[in-house]
């Protein structure tokens, strides 16, 4: 018996203890019209005034419907908005290996003219051949990713590949604040004539979000330098060269069921040459050749260009699988299907040249799941993970459309299904949630008996509100739905309460239809406040802090209050009324979980019926609300729109509850059926 049931009470009504049992008997005997009338009366008694809005929410506790996928609520990570380089990947030095097309990008060189050069002779890494040759007396300054964030008292690990040209060069490393003052220093000596990795640690004497790194060459002679790197020592799980701990914590706190990666349009590339190729992102860090990030100039004409945006792949496919494992999420890699972005070049790989792309998929499965005796399994083991990553999902393409996609998807599916029936494939439904392309793809994917179809919707709040019932009439016999990318776009593209409420409304629809909607993820996940290309986003970061948006809180509320079974629920309100609800049952804790979105400007006083339960107990209420739809969280006021938890006194399976205006409420109520 769970301890919460020690609190169980036999049904009594809290509005009038004396009349409790008779009212409850009457309640069970009343018809629907009678219940509504009584409900109005109860609301009046409870509030003393006639409530502005009333409703009945009727949950069928004893008739659970579909089982909910335990991995239903997940996250989608793409390197957009400086999400990886400059974000989750904790490297603080930009262009550390001088491989950007402008090899000096991110660096300022203080040295006499023509004394510093980029060289490629006998490099430290043949994959990244550029290095810098610097004379004694010169200073290299790196600006980081919109500055370097350092925290007082924390340790930073500097490392560099170095080779002496003269007799005794040495390096002084400094963290410098915006006024040019040192925040910490370290020295590297003993640089020999052969390439060698040197490390040093610096402790920051002050907190500074926009520090710079200085590398000063001292001693005599000159020095060749490559892979100049600085990481906080405090990374996620303290892994050297790892991920930003506070950003991963934000993901872990969501308890995501899956982690989709790496895109998004990044998978496709503007051209096939710069598509995402997973094999270029694994193995030794020095072998991972940086490429231009496709978001570098995508929105340049809208003033959101980022000429310094490249992908170092320091967060590559190994780190991705490891991250998914760390946060308990199922990996969901997405691969290029032989098509470049159809909003850009629309380049196509001819069908008779598709085999290497399909082979990449087979090899990825081997890298994730194969024994260490296989080629790719051996690489995974060498990188530190002999055990498989248990990948069971794989996306073929991102936002592709047209017959070209169906042809290519078909080729992938034929081979992958034959060789790896244990891996479920995710097919694309294009960039829009309706229309000709969408209908064409769905028709074909149904014929092909696709496992899962990925729908994307970036739409205004009104669309979200009116699509809360979208899946009620979906075909139950066809492929399952993955709502793989969605976000409510207000006119200002604000991450505000209105956006969050409208997303929550649609999410009640996902949940009520969990038999067809198998998984869902908001997009994009992260954005650097000084370097974003796309908004709104779920989590904003600067160089030192993270910020949860109202949408983040909604995602967290749904994910952490998932439940195992859908419970049928009926609301007396009309669909247009912007009052939405879903219910689930947690089979482990024996709770009803009720999620209610009141997107109106009035409180809705509801009579909640937990039909079929004859014992309930004190539960928990989590409420997300704020006074204006336009309210947002900011770094100055991060908790303006944040959930608040409270005890929920429930004394009867039928009880009244007032849902505040502009709110998402999650009610967790221990409930039982004792008389079957």
Q: What is the spatial distance between Cα 478 and Cα 601, in angstroms, rounded to a whole number?
A: 39
Residue among 311, 280, 314, 416 at smallest CA distance from 358? 416
CB of 576 to ligand AHR, least distance (A): 29
Q: Which of 53, 399, 498, 503 binds ligand AHR (CB under 6 A)?
A: 399
CB of 197 to ligand AHR, least distance (A): 35
Number of residues engaging ligand AHR in binding (CB under 6 A): 12
CB of 485 to ligand AHR, least distance (A): 5
Between the CA atoms of 132, 137, 140 and 141, what dihedral angle is there, to the nearest 10 degrees? 180
Stretch that binds ligand AHR, among 98-106, 180-188, 260-268, 493-501 (CB under 6 A): 260-268
Kindly tell me which of 298 and 366 has the beta carbon lying closer to ligand AHR.
Answer: 298
Q: What is the spatial distance between Cα 594 and Cα 57, in angstroms, rounded to a whole number?
A: 10
DSSP 27: H
**DSSP percent split of the chain into helix, strand, coil, nearest 5:** 25, 30, 45
Q: What is the spatial distance between Cα 529 and Cα 342, in angstroms, rounded to a whole number?
A: 28
Backbone phi, then psi, for 124, in 5-degree steps?
-70, -35
Q: What is the spatial distance between Cα 184 and Cα 156, in angstroms, rounded to a whole number?
A: 9
The two structure tokens encoding residue 447: 């014929």
- Residue 263 binds ligand AHR (CB under 6 A): yes
The CA distances from residue 112 to 109, 219, 230, in Å, are 9, 17, 26
Residue among 594, 567, 568 at smallest CA distance from 581? 594
Stretch that binds ligand AHR, among 181-189, 259-267, 614-622, 655-663 (CB under 6 A): 259-267
In the region spanning residues 162 to 221, those forming contacts with ligand AHR, defined by CB under 6 A, are none
Per-residue x/- track, 34-73, ligand AHR (CB under 6 A): ----------------------------------------
Kindly tell me which of 529 and 624 has the beta carbon lying closer to ligand AHR.
Answer: 529
**Catalytically active residues, by annotation:** 399
CB of 266 to ligand AHR, least distance (A): 6
- From start to end of 94-207, where are the E strands? 107-110, 117-119, 131-135, 139-142, 148-150, 155-164, 169-176, 182-188, 196-203
**Full DSSP string of 57-92:** EEEETTS--SBPPTT-B-EE--S-TTSTBTTTB---
Q: Which of 87, 524, 536, 670 binds ligand AHR (CB under 6 A)?
A: 524
Residues with Cβ within 8 Å of 659's Cβ and at least 6 positions away in sequence, in order, are 579, 596, 598, 603, 604, 605, 606, 665
250: region left, alpha or beta (phi > 0 left; psi from -120 to 50 alpha): alpha
The two structure tokens encoding residue 48: 């003393």
Q: Which of 150, 228, 265, 339 binds ligand AHR (CB under 6 A)?
A: 265
Q: Is the dihedral of CA 237, 238, 243, 244 positive or negative?
A: positive
CB of 659 to ligand AHR, least distance (A): 32
Kindly tell me which of 158 and 313 has the beta carbon lying closer to ligand AHR.
Answer: 313
Per-residue x/- track, 73-112, ligand AHR (CB under 6 A): -----x-x--------------------------------
Q: Which of 256, 264, 316, 377 binds ligand AHR (CB under 6 A)?
A: 264
- Residue 533 binds ligand AHR (CB under 6 A): no
Pairing of strands 208-219, 169-176: antiparallel
**Full DSSP string of 514-566:** TTTEEEEEES--EEETTT-SS---SEEE-SS-EEE-HHHHHHHHHHHT--SEE
CB of 370 to ligand AHR, least distance (A): 29
Residue found under tokens 């087979």: 362
Q: What is the spatial distance between Cα 395 and Cα 337, in angstroms, rounded to a whole number?
A: 9
- Residue 523 binds ligand AHR (CB under 6 A): yes
Q: Is the dihedral of CA 660, 666, 668, 672 positive or negative?
A: positive
Kindly tell me which of 54 and 81 has the beta carbon lying closer to ligand AHR.
Answer: 81
Stretch that binds ligand AHR, among 1-9, 29-37, 258-266, 573-581 (CB under 6 A): 258-266
Kindly tell me which of 312 and 398 has the beta carbon lying closer to ligand AHR.
Answer: 398
Determine contact, residues 669/594, Cβ cutoff 8 Å.
Answer: yes
User: Which SS3 state, helix, strand or coil, does residue 605 take?
Assistant: strand
Kindly tell me which of 56 and 502 has the beta carbon lying closer to ligand AHR.
Answer: 502
Kindly tell me which of 228 and 306 has the beta carbon lying closer to ligand AHR.
Answer: 306
- Residue 397 binds ligand AHR (CB under 6 A): no
Kindly tell me which of 11 and 431 has the beta carbon lying closer to ligand AHR.
Answer: 431
- Residue 455 binds ligand AHR (CB under 6 A): no
CB of 304 to ligand AHR, least distance (A): 13
Question: Of how many residues is the chain composed?
Answer: 676
Stretch that binds ligand AHR, among 49-57, 257-265, 355-363, 661-669 (CB under 6 A): 257-265
CB of 401 to ligand AHR, least distance (A): 12
CB of 146 to ligand AHR, least distance (A): 20
Kindly tell me which of 295 and 655 has the beta carbon lying closer to ligand AHR.
Answer: 295
Cα R_g (the chain), whole angstroms: 28
Q: What is the spatial distance between Cα 151 and Cα 157, in angstroms, rounded to a whole number?
A: 13
Which residue minimizes CB distance to ligand AHR?
A: 264
Kindly tell me which of 361 and 527 has the beta carbon lying closer to ligand AHR.
Answer: 527
CB of 295 to ligand AHR, least distance (A): 8
The two structure tokens encoding residue 39: 């409900």
- Residue 485 binds ligand AHR (CB under 6 A): yes
- Residue 534 binds ligand AHR (CB under 6 A): yes
Q: What is the spatial distance between Cα 483 and Cα 507, in angstroms, rounded to a whole number?
A: 10
Stretch that binds ligand AHR, among 263-271, 349-357, 514-522, 622-630 (CB under 6 A): 263-271
The CA distances from residue 232 to 205, 246, 391, in Å, are 14, 12, 30
CB of 525 to ligand AHR, least distance (A): 9
Per-residue x/- track, 322-361, ligand AHR (CB under 6 A): ----------------------------------------
Determine contact, residues 284/241, Cβ cutoff 8 Å.
Answer: no
Stretch that binds ligand AHR, among 161-169, 221-229, 252-260, 262-270 (CB under 6 A): 262-270
User: Is residue 630 within a helix (H) or strand (E), and if so which, with residue range?
Assistant: none
Q: What is the spatial distance between Cα 222 and Cα 168, in angstroms, rounded to a whole number?
A: 8
Kindly tell me which of 5 and 343 has the beta carbon lying closer to ligand AHR.
Answer: 343
CB of 80 to ligand AHR, least distance (A): 6
- Residue 503 binds ligand AHR (CB under 6 A): no
The neighbouring-strand residues paired with 616 are: 9, 671
Kindly tell me which of 429 and 597 has the beta carbon lying closer to ligand AHR.
Answer: 429
- Residue 398 binds ligand AHR (CB under 6 A): yes
- Residue 367 binds ligand AHR (CB under 6 A): no
CB of 341 to ligand AHR, least distance (A): 9
Stretch that binds ligand AHR, among 6-14, 261-269, 307-315, 403-411 (CB under 6 A): 261-269
Q: Which of 129, 262, 395, 431 binds ligand AHR (CB under 6 A)?
A: 431
Helices then strands, each counted (H, E), the chain:
12, 35
User: Is residue 510 within a helix (H) or strand (E), and if so which, with residue range?
Assistant: helix 497-512
Q: Would you tell me which residues interact with ligand AHR (CB under 6 A)? A: 78, 80, 263-265, 398-399, 431, 485, 523-524, 534
């Amino acid at each position: 018996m769970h301890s919460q049931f020690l609190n169980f009470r036999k049904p009594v009504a809290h509005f009038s203890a004396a009349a409790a049992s008779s009212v409850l008997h009457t309640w069970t005997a009343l018809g629907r019209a009678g219940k509504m009338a009584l409900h109005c009366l109860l609301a009046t008694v409870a509030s003393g005034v006639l409530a502005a809005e009333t409703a009945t929410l009727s949950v069928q506790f004893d008739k659970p419907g579909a089982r909910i996928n335990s991995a239903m609520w997940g996250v989608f990570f793409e390197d957009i908005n400086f999400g990886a380089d400059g974000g989750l990947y904790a490297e603080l030095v930009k262009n550390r290996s001088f491989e950007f097309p402008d090899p000096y990008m991110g660096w300022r060189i203080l040295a006499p003219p023509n004394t510093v050069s980029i060289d490629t002779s006998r490099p430290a890494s043949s994959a990244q051949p550029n290095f810098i040759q610097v004379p004694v007396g010169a200073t290299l300054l790196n600006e980081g990713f919109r500055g370097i964030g350092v925290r007082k008292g924390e340790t930073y690990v500097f490392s560099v590949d170095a080779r002496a040209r003269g007799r005794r060069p040495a390096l002084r490393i400094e963290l410098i604040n915006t006024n040019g003052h040192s925040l910490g220093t370290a020295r590297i000596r003993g640089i020999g004539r052969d390439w060698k990795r040197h490390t040093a640690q610096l402790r920051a004497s002050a907190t500074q979000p926009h520090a710079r790194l200085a590398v000063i060459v001292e001693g005599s002679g000159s020095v060749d330098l490559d892979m100049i790197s600085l990481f906080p020592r405090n990374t996620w799980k303290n892994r050297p060269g790892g991920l930003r701990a506070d950003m991963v914590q934000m993901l872990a706190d969501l308890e995501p069921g899956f982690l989709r990666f790496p895109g998004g349009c990044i998978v496709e590339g503007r051209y096939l040459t710069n598509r995402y190729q997973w094999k270029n992102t694994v193995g030794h860090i020095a072998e991972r050749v940086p490429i231009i990030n496709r978001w570098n100039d995508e929105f340049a004409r809208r003033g959101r260009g980022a000429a310094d945006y490249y992908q170092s792949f320091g967060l590559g496919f190994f780190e991705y699988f490891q991250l998914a494992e760390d946060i308990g999420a199922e990996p969901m890699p997405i691969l290029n299907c032989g098509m470049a972005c159809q909003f850009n070049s629309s380049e196509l790989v001819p069908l008779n040249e598709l085999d290497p792309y399909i082979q990449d998929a087979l090899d990825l499965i081997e890298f994730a799941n194969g024994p260490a005796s296989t080629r790719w399994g051996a690489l995974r083991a060498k990188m530190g993970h002999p055990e498989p990553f248990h990948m069971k999902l794989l996306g073929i393409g991102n936002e592709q459309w047209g017959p070209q996609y169906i042809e290519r998807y078909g080729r992938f599916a034929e081979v992958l299904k034959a060789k790896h029936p244990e891996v479920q494939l995710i097919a694309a439904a294009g960039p829009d949630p309706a229309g000709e392309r969408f209908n064409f793809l769905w028709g074909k994917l149904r014929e092909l008996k696709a496992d899962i179809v990925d729908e994307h919707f970036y739409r205004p709040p009104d669309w979200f509100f009116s699509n809360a019932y979208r899946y009620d009439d979906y075909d139950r016999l066809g492929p399952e739905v993955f709502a793989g990318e969605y976000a409510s776009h207000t006119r200002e593209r604000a991450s505000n309460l209105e956006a969050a409420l409208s997303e929550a409304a649609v999410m009640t629809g996902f949940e009520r239809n969990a038999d067809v909607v198998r998984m869902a993820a908001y997009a994009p996940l992260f954005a650097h406040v000084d370097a974003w290309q796309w908004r709104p986003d779920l989590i904003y970061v600067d160089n030192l802090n993270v910020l949860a948006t109202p949408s983040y809180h909604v995602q967290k509320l749904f994910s952490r209050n998932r439940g195992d079974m859908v419970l049928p629920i009926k609301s007396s309100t009309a669909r247009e009324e912007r009052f939405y609800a879903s219910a689930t049952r947690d089979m482990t804790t024996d709770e009803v979980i009720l999620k209610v979105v009141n997107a109106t400007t009035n409180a809705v006083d509801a009579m909640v019926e937990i039909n079929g339960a004859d014992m309930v107990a004190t539960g928990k209420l989590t409420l997300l609300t704020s006074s204006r739809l336009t309210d947002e969280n900011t770094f100055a006021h991060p908790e303006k729109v944040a959930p608040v938890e409270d005890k929920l006194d429930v004394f009867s399976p039928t009880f009244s509850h007032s849902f505040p205006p502009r709110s998402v409420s999650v009610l967790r109520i221990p409930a039982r059926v004792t008389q079957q």
